[in-house]
Every structure is written in structure tokens, then in C-alpha cells.
Amino acid sequence: MSFILRRALLAIPSLFGLLVVTFLMIHVSPADPATTLAGDNATAEQIARIRHQYGLDQPLAVQFVRYVADVAQLDFGDSQYSSRPVATDLLGRLPATLELTLVALILATALGIPIGVVAAMHHNRWPDITLRLLSVAGVAVATFWLAIMLQMFFSMRLGWLPLRGRLTDGLAAPAGPTGLLLVDSLLHGDLTVFTDAFAHIVLPAATLALGGIATIARFTRAGVLDTMSRDFVQYARATGTPRQRLIWIYVLRNSVLAAVSQIGLLFGGLIAGSVVVESIFDWPGIGNYTVQAILTADSKVLLAVTLLIGVIYAVVNILTDLAQAAIDPRLRERR
């Protein structure tokens, strides 16, 4: 508990610094939110009225102090795009983004770790070389291009999976408790909604997971190769321990620490990367919401989303440290 508290306190200065940098970057941009909201045919008086309504005519320091005071009370103001409280919009859209990110992360982990182990077991042979080439390609492929190609092939040509959205029109989403359709539909025993929601999430999750698969595979491969060269592995080989048991039980546990760290970093990265994926697949999460905020220069939404992603990064990093300590008890003593 003391470790968690210490890490949470250390995250506060980082989050404050993130808030300062983002606030300054947004407010030094040439885009004028008041002009965007007023429209192309607005008069100077109308623009001035909107600027005064949202406090945009105040000095920058005054705007920042007022915003920090509101954030401390979990008040992010009203969205200029939706005219609703930003906190309400984020709470309504966050479950969709979290579900997409979690499915993508599970997919990346479930495929990345075995691929990395197989590559290490066939070091410098054709399976290893092939997997390394595919890993490089997975990182290099542009997300938006992959998303469009998957839509064209699996949705438009084959008709196997939905093209966009989170649930087919006409199907009612189960009422809570988590906001995650896959989880809530199982809790309510609604297999129709579960099947439909699963079909909708396959393509966006696969698009989002590709880079993560390649990253986890590379780190797992490096960890397995390093562990296999250690003395205890050589001793286990000499005693006749079966190769499969040696790799999947003894070697893997001592090799995944770096991969676990990457999984923690990937979670935050996937949420940030969901901006593109959600826009292409019309996924009703915070990524799609962020794109609309950028187009309308909605600074309050951009600040709130940035801070939210920063908080998620901090929480995931703490959970990652706890997971590493569970895998390697020696880390608990160092902390």
C-alpha cells in the first residue's frame, strides 16, 4: 500500500506538468475557438460575445489558474462542440474506448508473447527471420491504411464483419454495470448482443493491436534469448528437463519482465492511437470525440482528454510495477 501511495504522489507533478504544457500549446495555436464556434458569417460583436462567455478574453494566467481550480473539483467545463459538460461526455464515451483498448491489448499479448518465444526457440533460423520481418512490418504499417484495407476486404468484399459502429442499430445495449458491452451482455445473459458487439470490435481491435503484437514479440524474444544463456537454464538442460517444459515454465517466467513493462506502456499508447481507429470505424469513444474537438478547436475537451490519458498512464504504470513484483518477488525487496 505504501508503494502505491508513493507512486501516486510522484505522478502528481508529472500530471501537473502535462497540464501546463498542453494548456500553453493549445493557447498559442493560431486557431480561435470563438471564431470557430461563431461560424463563418458571424459578426465581430458575436465573436466577442462568445469569447467573453467562455472566458477567452481573460489573460492566459487567469485562464490557467481558473482551469486548475475547476479541475481540482473534477469540473472540466462545458464542451464548445456538444454544449454539454466535458466530464459527462467523457464518462459516456470512456467505456467504449476502454473496451476497444482492452480487447486490442489482450489480442496483442496473446499473440505477441507466443510469437516472441517461438522466434527465440528458432534463433537465426527461418521462423525467427520470418517473424522478425513481420514484426518490423507490423510497426511500419500505417494504422489508417490497415484499417481501410481491413474494412474493404472483410466488410465490403466478404461481408463477414460490420463496417463501422459498436452495435447494430435496433439492438439495445444492456444497462450497466460496467459500460463494456461484451462484459455487460454476458452478465445479463444476452448472447445476441454479445455476438453482435464482438463482431463489431474485431476489426478495430485487430487494427489497433498490430503494432502492439510486434512490440511485445520483439521484447519477449530478446528476454527469452537472454534467459536461455543463463546458468540455471544450462543446468536444467543437463538434468534432462524436457525442452517444452523448460521454455514455457522456467524460461518464460524469467523473460517476460520487459514484455510486461511494454504492455503497460502499450495500454496508454493504444488509447492515444484509438483517435485514428475510432474515427475510421465510427467507434463512439473518446478518440472520435477528440477528433471533433480538434476540428472545432475545443480546448477544454483537448485538455480534459490529455489529462485523462495521463492519469491512465500513471495508473497503468503502477499496476505494471505490481505485476512485475508478482512475477519476480525480488523486486518487492528493492521497493
**What pLDDT is attached to residue 332?**
52
Domain around 41: 31-75
The pLDDT profile of the chain, 335 residues, written as one tens digit per residue, is 666 677 677 777 887 888 888 777 777 766 666 776 666 677 778 878 877 777 777 787 888 888 888 888 888 877 877 778 888 888 888 899 999 999 998 998 888 888 888 888 888 888 788 887 877 777 778 788 888 999 999 988 988 999 888 888 888 888 878 888 898 899 888 889 899 999 999 999 999 888 888 888 888 888 888 887 777 777 777 777 777 777 777 777 777 666 677 777 778 778 877 888 888 898 888 888 888 888 777 778 888 888 888 888 778 777 777 766 666 655 555 55
CB 146 within 8 A of CB 207: yes
4 within a domain of the structure (yes/no): no
HSE value, Cβ hemisphere, 13 Å, CA-based, for 258: 17
> With b meaning 16 or more CB within 10 Å and e meaning fewer, what string describes 107-121?
bbbebbbebbbbbbb
Q: Are residues 191 and 254 in the same domain?
A: yes
Q: Are residues 168 and 55 in the same domain?
A: no
315 within a domain of the structure (yes/no): yes
**What pLDDT is attached to residue 324?**
65
199 within a domain of the structure (yes/no): yes
**What pLDDT is attached to residue 154?**
92
Nearest CA to 275 among 293, 290, 297? Answer: 290
259/265 Cα distance (integer angstroms): 10
81 within a domain of the structure (yes/no): no
**Strand, coil or helix: what is 6?**
helix
Q: Are residues 64 and 134 in the same domain?
A: no
**What pLDDT is attached to residue 302?**
82
11 within a domain of the structure (yes/no): no
Q: Are residues 114 and 230 in the same domain?
A: yes
161 phi-psi bin (left φ>0, alpha ψ -120 to 50, beta other): beta
Q: Are residues 217 and 290 in the same domain?
A: yes
Q: Which domain CATH number covers 217?
A: 1.10.3720.10
Report, in angstroms and rounded to the nearest whole number, the Rg of the chain calculated over CA atoms. 24
Q: Kindly report the CA angle at 240 between 236 and 246, in degrees rounded to 5? A: 50
Q: Are residues 53 and 179 in the same domain?
A: no
Q: Are residues 275 and 155 in the same domain?
A: yes
1 within a domain of the structure (yes/no): no
Q: Look at the chain and report how many structural domains it folds into.
A: 2
Q: Are residues 226 and 306 in the same domain?
A: yes
276/142 Cα distance (integer angstroms): 10
Tens-digit pLDDT profile for residues 53-64: 777 777 878 888
**What pLDDT is attached to residue 198?**
93
Tens-digit pLDDT profile for residues 205-243: 999 888 888 888 888 888 888 887 777 777 777 777 777
164 within a domain of the structure (yes/no): yes
CB 310 within 8 A of CB 8: no
Q: Are residues 63 and 132 in the same domain?
A: no
Helix 86-121 × helix 286-295 angle, to 10°:
120
